[in-house]
Structure 1
Amino acid sequence: MESLKLLILCSFVKFVLLQGVGSGSNGNLRLCIVEGRGAYKRGAKFCPVLDAENSGMECVLGTDRLDCLRRISKGTVDFGAFSPEDLIAAQWADLDVLVTHELRHRQRDYERTVVAVVNRKILPDHPWSLDAVLRNTTLCHPGNGINDLRPLSDTLSGYLESLVVTRSCDPQLSLTENRIKAVANFFGKACKAGYWVPDFIRDAELKEKYPSLCAACESSCSLKDRYWGASGALSCLLDGAGDVMWGELDDVIAYFGLNTNSSMYPSSDNFAYLCRDGTWQPLKDNPNPCVWLNRPWPVIIAKRKTAAAVAAALSTLSSGALFDGRWRGALAALLEAREAPAPRRPPAAPLDHLAAAAGFREAYSQSGCRPPRHVTLCTTSLLARNKCEWLSEAGAVYGAAPALQCAARRGAAGCLQALARRDADVAVLPADYMLRAVREFDLSPVLYEVTPIVEKMNTVVAYVKKSANINKMADLRGRRAAFPRYDGFAWQSVMDYLSKKHNCDDILNNYFSEICAPGIEKYNLSETIVNRFTKSCYQNGGEVDEEKAALMSVVDGHSDVAFISMKTFNLFKAEQISSGESIIDDIVPLCPDDNVKYCYLSWANIGHIYAPKNISDMRRHEIKNVFTKLDQLFGKHQPFHNPMFSIFGPFNHQLDVIFHNNTKSLASEELLEMHPYVTMPFNFERRILNNTLNNCQITDQMNSAPKLTSSLFLIVPTLVVFVLGK
């Protein structure tokens, strides 16, 4: 008995020592989790249990699963739960991590197994090639989904098709259309219901061009068609509408009742499993049929240094402890473990772990068309380029095509020049650069970052002091004005608004007594003019947000009106409330008479994805397809999904990297025309794209008198011309 006590004590000491190597406080193991987007927050519910019961563990909230994987690699957290697709996405980064456990919920080697089922009427007398068996038959396709495999992801679906269909690489067609064309040319008919591309307008065009891929559907070739999805494809096969389908083994077994002797299920006698070598097997009494693809279980990943400690900690999660209401039950809930984690002995490198799953790694290493195609995104910082590279890898896992490549230039101006020179294909820039992009660099927005909340859009509102006796726009004449920047969104919007009643010479010379327009020093103007348009600007001795500086200029009495966004004003107001100050109470918006409802002078979408205006329709389709697919996969469309990556989320603790955090989705111009806020007045983008924006510019031809009332003239912005190569 004493020996047994000593053994137990030694085991406990060893466990404690192993836990002590964690990266958290007092050597705690740090678990990285991603909260779902629904009302249920498992972190808020279960993380405090780990703290309260001295579990030796603590939680860290990650933005997304790849954020957690980066944190583990950097050593700031110790372990987390991941999908096998996460490991594929991160393989390029050469992360020094190990797989310690699988998170199984059934006693079998793989979470999902994909098989092919055919109607026996198409089978030849003897085994033959897949081409000979399947060409000109009718395919019941389960449809492409945005999750791991239900229905098939674009990547896995494309892989299965590639085992049968010869690739099409027509340079005049987008990669997506090439793939659709190849399937249409191989099969006689098909029911490939659901969206083929996220843009429903382009989706309708493709379905009209390749009608054979909808010919076997029962009605609409949409998500509402009876033959869409896993069970829909099986119904298509059983009804005789199609000859062959891919699906999960579980679905096939359940549909035909292959594990029961009940007569309630349809007969499987007329159907068979088709193997990758052209042979076939019976459905009945065949517990281990030939498979086309295995998908591994989700896994626990730990950094190499703490893998042993994590393995020891999770070894205490017996089936009886998963729901005990104590810290082990909390840990199981955080890992979403339905059964005790299955240890991987010994812990393995991610790609070694995935290698055993038939077809899985092959699906993510398919060769493409030659020469390869890609869309190069120009980013304005190294941090943005880093996010772009992770987004590229995540998109590649789920079949976003063409592949996204990343380039970095110094600031927005550098990206505008890169697009004009065709050194990059697209750039994501705010409304401040829209006039330059369209008029100087011959670019146009391909997609827009949109939000349905007016307060979060790009807006220009006049803010004044309540006590200043300024009640209408006409009262601003002779007052001091503060702009966030010269020639930016606010400047252009105000000049355009005022030009409806005044000419530019009057606006610049007489309307305001003083103008603060920081950034004018970057233009080729005299020091006298630069001083005149910056001397009244708010100064705090350091870096300050341009819009906040304009607002502070009014707060501190340097200006009478600030032209800034509702978003900045609301953020500043929230800061004042949280700090207990009430300075902001005296600042109110000045609504124009012709827009009392919304109160702004102008509005624009949060951001714009620009491309050269004269690109081909095919290239425009490819750009739209890759970014709308990334939005569909990693945007805000799945309220209860823990994403692999967050395209609109923080990155490395920074907000608004490439895309804005307030963005709801990416939309084309056609979709914007159908949006409810298309009727909102004073849209900035339309006026620029329709060439109706009046923009007043400052010239160096002005009197040396110290007052702004000296002579000013309107000039046309310098046109930058580049000689473009092919």
Structure 2
Amino acid sequence: MVFKMCVRVFFSVLFCLHCVLAQGTGSGKDGNLRLCIVEGRGSYKRAPTHCPILDQENAGVECVVGTDRLDCLRRISKGTVDFGVFSPEDLVAAQWANIDVLVTNEVRFKNRPFNRRIVAVVNKRILPDSSTSLHAILKNTTLCHPGDSMDELKPLSETLSGYLETLVLERSCDPTLSDTENKLKALSEFYGKACKAGPWVPDKDRDMELKMAYPSLCAACGYRSCSAGDPYWGSVGSLTCLTEGTGDVTWGDADDISSYFKLKGIANVATQNFAYLCRDGTWRDLTQEPCVWLQRPWNIIVAKRKAAEAVSRLAESLTNRTVTVDHGWRGALAALLECNQALPHTLQPAKTALDYLARADGFREAYSQNGCDPPRHITLCTTSTLARNKCEWLSEAAAVYGIAPALQCALRNSAAECLATVAAGHADVAVASSDFLVPAARMSLTPVLHEITQIAEKTNTIVAYVNSDAKLTKMADLRGKRAAFPRYDGVAWHSVKRYVTEKENITCGNYINSYFKEICAPGMDGKKCYEAGEEEALKWLVDGKTDVAFVSMNTFNSFKTQSQSPNINKTVPLCPEDNKKYCSISWSNLGHIFAANNITEVRKHEIINVFRKMDQIFGKHPPFHNAMFSMYGAYNHEMEVIFHSNTKTLATSAILKHHPFDKIPYNFELTLEKLNLNETCSFGVKVTPSIVVLMITLVAFLINRY
């Protein structure tokens, strides 16, 4: 017996050694396979813990850290990496984007073909004497809704939940209602009442409005607030709603439902009172095999075609249970593949994305639902090919998670052109910095969302920087001095003008003509002392060509670490007397999503809902251990693409009136409405409204012409 065991161990080790030596088809050094991994959001990082072990033991596998899971998919498609671990939702995006990859293994945590089996459970009191249609059985009953989750670890995503609803409901396509409200309307008109607890949309005020408009969808909840704290909220709460007799039907994972009944000690009672409801209108006893509405596949190992066979063999070598306690390269690789507690199941042969997804009943159909006709979309204007590419991937990722209306992407040459395109009605939104707040307002555009950070130093602060040798101690000392601005008509220009005219009690004309001895603001009166930009204005000060430069704290700190000039150490901030703590003349958010002033409230709600949902899933606070896509941060190794990397979240202007933002004086967005946009003295060579209209018309003509 001992001899046979030793022989098995020997051949197992020999097989694994063969796997390592025989790979050779990878894109790494000496043909090593390159594994793309995405680090989680927490403090624990897998790459520095496990990747060195692969190198030390010559495992034939190298690590590459990707920005997000779709970044890893793109790298596999381009051939720069060879394999990685993905969710079935990632595979949907890969299929839509025509990425040619193969599924080699499933990461199974149980010995069964699918991760989730979604079933419907009903109270037998609603069942008729004989089988009939789902519509006839469920009409006017009480729904215990399991909720819409963005967490991949939960049984039902918003897409899957919405798909289950469409199997029963008739679609509502009222053009006067948002996409979200149309779905709520259909749900409320079909069921007598329901408990759909938890947030319906990210915006709290809008969420409250919708719950007041459709009270029947909260009528079965334990609390009138219909919140995530309700006893009937979530997958467990919906089962409680059913078993306590409040509701008639719910959806859930078959294993979760069985475990719930056993845990509550009501398995026998449940068998007597409840049944599985099937999609064809029949039903089964809880003691029978459940009829499944929807199957969700396991996470999978995906590889490029050339490396698929080697990756498959490598993953298969990790099926030995001893991997979980292996401190060598196999244990390290198992941890990196997230299968140290799982069984990688080999697919023979490896399958394409389309073929693999087709195996799961209902899953692919859930991501191929037809929308209303004509279809709705939100067009985002971008300013570079790279930004448009990122927008298109963001669109794919959003569609996977059921975010609607769909995001579309347009391309123009600059932020100014994008704003003109939105003003002309050829795009819905554009993202631009605070320097465009005033120009956008003149074009009848308004920021519907802001890129928020709670770190004051990283906002768009406007600070007066001076040379310490000048002995300037208060803001009034700047009268008669030379001033440098990053650009004319930007946030610094208007912030300083507003501050000085208010504090000195002078007219706008006096400010322009006589307050400063000399002004450099690129774009004013056609003059250009330097190229527009904050660093250029700061260099002007460091070189002694001006007495004060109005730039952001963030730019100054960055410039100070890079500058070789000894004068940078003499550059100090001059704080307003009533804002010594933050030292800024004004502050504004990192960036803004602009839309036309005249859009309907419905359209505004749709724009806010779509971008805030994307922010919740793909921003810096998703509920996942690693992200499918990253809205903020690097994209294709470039920073600040579409959105600022320091963005924490997207929010409406309402957040500016709450802590901590209401504690920071001189917010520019809140004072924007007080500015006289057509003051002659503000603009040097004034751009009149008629010229703006002419420019917009010309841009629109060129768009249609070319």
Structure 1 position 553, deviation (Å): 1.9
Q: How does 1:363-442 map to 2 (within 5 A)?
A: 363-439=366-442, 441-442=443-444
Structure 1 position 698, deviation (Å): 5.0
User: Contact 1:492/1:696 (CA < 8 Å) preserved in 2?
Assistant: no
2:106 maps to a residue whose letter is: E
Deviations along 1:207-253, one digit per CA (max 9) or x if unpaired, are 11111111111113111110111111111111110000001111111
Q: Do residues 282 (structure 1) and 285 (structure 2) align?
A: yes
Residues of 2 paired with 1:519 and 1:503: CA distance?
22
Which residue in 1 is equivalent to 2:579?
Answer: 595
Which residue in 1 is equivalent to 2:541?
Answer: 554
- Go from structure 1 to structure 2 and tell me whether the alpha carbon gap of 1:598 and 1:371 turns closer, same or farther (over 3 Å shift): same
Q: Do residues 224 (structure 1) and 229 (structure 2) align?
A: yes
Residues of 1 paired with 2:96 and 2:267: CA distance?
50
Structure 1 position 314, deviation (Å): 2.0
Q: How does 1:284-683 map to 2 (within 5 A)?
A: 284=287, 286=288, 288-317=289-318, 318-337=320-339, 338-439=341-442, 441-500=443-502, 501=504, 502-520=506-524, 525=525, 530=527, 533-534=528-529, 537=530, 546-575=533-562, 584-638=568-622, 641-683=625-667
2:444 maps to a residue whose letter is: D
Q: Do residues 196 (structure 1) and 200 (structure 2) align?
A: yes
Which residue in 2 is equivalent to 1:234?
Answer: 239
Residues of 1 paired with 2:534 and 2:680: CA distance?
20
Residues of 2 paired with 1:388 and 1:319: CA distance?
43
- Go from structure 1 to structure 2 and tell me whether the alpha carbon gap of 1:324 and 1:479 turns closer, same or farther (over 3 Å shift): same
Structure 1 position 444, deviation (Å): 0.9
User: Contact 2:489/2:683 (CA < 8 Å) preserved in 1?
Assistant: no
Farther off after superposition, 106-115 or 676-685: 676-685
User: Contact 2:20/2:314 (CA < 8 Å) preserved in 1?
Assistant: no
Residues of 2 paired with 1:247 and 1:290: CA distance?
12
Helix, strand or coil for the counterpart of 1:452? coil
Farther off after superposition, 385-394 or 47-56: 47-56
Gaps in structure 2 of 5+ consecutive residues: 702-706
Deviations along 1:102-126, one digit per CA (max 9) or x if unpaired, are 1111100000110000011111111
Deviations along 1:8-35, one digit per CA (max 9) or x if unpaired, are 9996786355432222223221111111
Residues of 1 paired with 2:16 and 2:161: CA distance?
49
Structure 1 position 446, deviation (Å): 0.9
Gaps in structure 1 of 5+ consecutive residues: 539-544, 701-713
Helix, strand or coil for the counterpart of 2:343? coil
Structure 1 position 717, deviation (Å): 7.1
Which residue in 2 is equivalent to 1:147?
Answer: 151
Structure 1 position 7, deviation (Å): 9.8
1:30 maps to a residue whose letter is: R
Which residue in 2 is equivalent to 1:248?
Answer: 253
Which residue in 2 is equivalent to 1:707?
Answer: none
Structure 1 position 53, deviation (Å): 1.8
Structure 1 position 468, deviation (Å): 2.4
Which residue in 2 is equivalent to 1:708?
Answer: none
Structure 1 position 350, deviation (Å): 1.2
User: Contact 1:99/1:299 (CA < 8 Å) preserved in 2?
Assistant: yes
Residues of 1 paired with 2:10 and 2:471: CA distance?
85
User: Contact 2:21/2:60 (CA < 8 Å) preserved in 1?
Assistant: no
User: Contact 2:27/2:81 (CA < 8 Å) preserved in 1?
Assistant: yes
Structure 1 position 313, deviation (Å): 2.2
Structure 1 position 312, deviation (Å): 2.5
1:326 maps to a residue whose letter is: G
Residues of 2 paired with 1:621 and 1:698: CA distance?
34
- Go from structure 1 to structure 2 and tell me whether the alpha carbon gap of 1:230 and 1:699 turns closer, same or farther (over 3 Å shift): closer
Structure 1 position 36, deviation (Å): 1.1
Deviations along 1:584-627, one digit per CA (max 9) or x if unpaired, are 32211111223222111111111111111011111111111111
Deviations along 1:280-316, one digit per CA (max 9) or x if unpaired, are 00002x2x31100000000011111211222222232
The count of aligned residue pairs is: 686
Residues of 2 paired with 1:715 and 1:419: CA distance?
19
Residue from 99, 102, 106 that aligns with 2:103: 99
Which residue in 2 is equivalent to 1:705?
Answer: none
Helix, strand or coil for the counterpart of 2:120? strand
Residues of 1 paired with 2:477 and 2:291: CA distance?
80
- Go from structure 1 to structure 2 and tell me whether the alpha carbon gap of 1:12 and 1:661 turns closer, same or farther (over 3 Å shift): closer
Helix, strand or coil for the counterpart of 2:578? helix
Helix, strand or coil for the counterpart of 2:27? coil
User: Contact 1:81/1:299 (CA < 8 Å) preserved in 2?
Assistant: yes
Structure 1 position 447, deviation (Å): 1.0
Deviations along 1:565-588, one digit per CA (max 9) or x if unpaired, are 011112223445xx9x86532211
2:381 maps to a residue whose letter is: C
Helix, strand or coil for the counterpart of 1:290? coil
Deviations along 1:125-155, one digit per CA (max 9) or x if unpaired, are 1110001111011100011111126252111
Farther off after superposition, 190-199 or 25-34: 25-34
Deviations along 1:296-355, one digit per CA (max 9) or x if unpaired, are 000011111211222222232122123311111111111111223111111111121111
Q: Normalising by structure 1, report the TM-score.
A: 0.90
User: Contact 1:37/1:639 (CA < 8 Å) preserved in 2?
Assistant: no
Helix, strand or coil for the counterpart of 1:499? helix
Residue from 669, 672, 684 that aligns with 1:699: 684
1:300 maps to a residue whose letter is: I
Deviations along 1:525-573, one digit per CA (max 9) or x if unpaired, are 5xxx52xx41xx38xxxxxx82122222222223222111011112223
Structure 1 position 719, deviation (Å): 4.8
- Go from structure 1 to structure 2 and tell me whether the alpha carbon gap of 1:583 and 1:105 turns closer, same or farther (over 3 Å shift): farther
Helix, strand or coil for the counterpart of 1:299? strand
Q: How does 1:112-131 map to 2 (within 5 A)?
A: 112-131=116-135
- Go from structure 1 to structure 2 and tell me whether the alpha carbon gap of 1:718 and 1:555 turns closer, same or farther (over 3 Å shift): farther
Structure 1 position 676, deviation (Å): 2.6
Deviations along 1:334-391, one digit per CA (max 9) or x if unpaired, are 1111223111111111121111000000000000111101111111111111111111
User: Contact 1:460/1:601 (CA < 8 Å) preserved in 2?
Assistant: yes
Deviations along 1:656-687, one digit per CA (max 9) or x if unpaired, are 11111111111112333334312422111122
Which residue in 1 is equivalent to 2:704?
Answer: none
Residues of 1 paired with 2:204 and 2:493: CA distance?
36
Residues of 1 paired with 2:283 and 2:170: CA distance?
22
User: Contact 1:634/1:645 (CA < 8 Å) preserved in 2?
Assistant: yes
User: Contact 1:144/1:151 (CA < 8 Å) preserved in 2?
Assistant: no
User: Contact 2:116/2:155 (CA < 8 Å) preserved in 1?
Assistant: no
Higher helix share: 2
Deviations along 1:494-543, one digit per CA (max 9) or x if unpaired, are 222222223344333333333332344xxxx5xxx52xx41xx38xxxxx
Q: Do residues 36 (structure 1) and 37 (structure 2) align?
A: no
- Go from structure 1 to structure 2 and tell me whether the alpha carbon gap of 1:282 and 1:715 turns closer, same or farther (over 3 Å shift): closer
Structure 1 position 5, deviation (Å): 14
User: Contact 2:586/2:667 (CA < 8 Å) preserved in 1?
Assistant: yes
User: Contact 2:94/2:353 (CA < 8 Å) preserved in 1?
Assistant: no
1:474 maps to a residue whose letter is: A
Residues of 2 paired with 1:21 and 1:586: CA distance?
58
- Go from structure 1 to structure 2 and tell me whether the alpha carbon gap of 1:6 and 1:668 turns closer, same or farther (over 3 Å shift): closer
Residues of 2 paired with 1:64 and 1:633: CA distance?
12
Which residue in 1 is equivalent to 2:692?
Answer: 720
Q: Percent identity?
A: 58
Residues of 1 paired with 2:367 and 2:683: CA distance?
55
Residues of 2 paired with 1:335 and 1:588: CA distance?
51
User: Contact 1:697/1:716 (CA < 8 Å) preserved in 2?
Assistant: no
User: Contact 1:459/1:601 (CA < 8 Å) preserved in 2?
Assistant: yes
